[in-house]
Amino acid sequence: MAFKSRLKKLAAKKREIEHEQNRLLKERSAEQKRLGIHPDQLKMRKQARAADLYAQRRRKKPELRPVVQTGTYRRETPDYPSVTSTGVLVAERRDRSVYTGDKLLGISVMHKSNLVPIFSEEHAKDVSAMRRN
């Protein structure tokens, strides 16, 4: 007899645990629905999104027709005068800079586009030796 009473107690305990789990699941489900993250809600959103994408793909494309132009089109732009004051405002041409000294012998290319001024024949020989070695 003790065995049967123990089984009844275990069955009652099991029912109590299941009842508590069901209560917790209902609370969790209600909380998820309140937040909008319930699996059923997510499933419905996914289906709605898929239906929208399908509808977008099924839309008819607009019919393209050639544009017929009549005459030339000219955009209207306001005319702004370049000079508002009276008088001559023309700049004079500047004189070009020209080397007039006698110290610079020439210009050498050291490496690729690196230009180097040459002031003596010895320096010119050094630069040419550098390029070969």
Residue 106 has a pLDDT of 87
Distance of CA 19 to the CA centre of its chain: 54
pLDDT reported for residue 21: 95
Averaged pLDDT score across all residues of the chain: 83
**Residue pLDDT, tens place only, 99-111:** 778 888 888 887 7
Nearest to 108 by CA among 125, 96, 133, 89: 125
Between CA 75 and CA 19 the distance in angstroms is 80
Q: Write out the two tokens for 58.
A: 């099924």
CA atoms in the 13 A half-sphere facing the CB of 129:
6
Task: Copy the structure tokens of residue 42.
Answer: 């997510």
Residue pair 115/109 in contact (Cβ under 8 Å)? The answer is yes
Both tokens of residue 19?
A: 């009842």
Per-residue confidence at 69, pLDDT binned at 50, 70, 90?
Answer: confident
Q: Given pLDDT bands bounded at 50, 70 and 90, which one contains residue 114?
A: confident
Does the pLDDT value for residue 130 go beyond 90?
no
Looking at per-residue pLDDT, the higher value among 75 and 53 belongs to 75
Quick one: average pLDDT of 78-94? 72
Average pLDDT in the 33-42 region?
A: 87
Cα 107 to Cα 25, 59, 75, 119, 130, distances in angstroms = 89, 71, 53, 9, 15
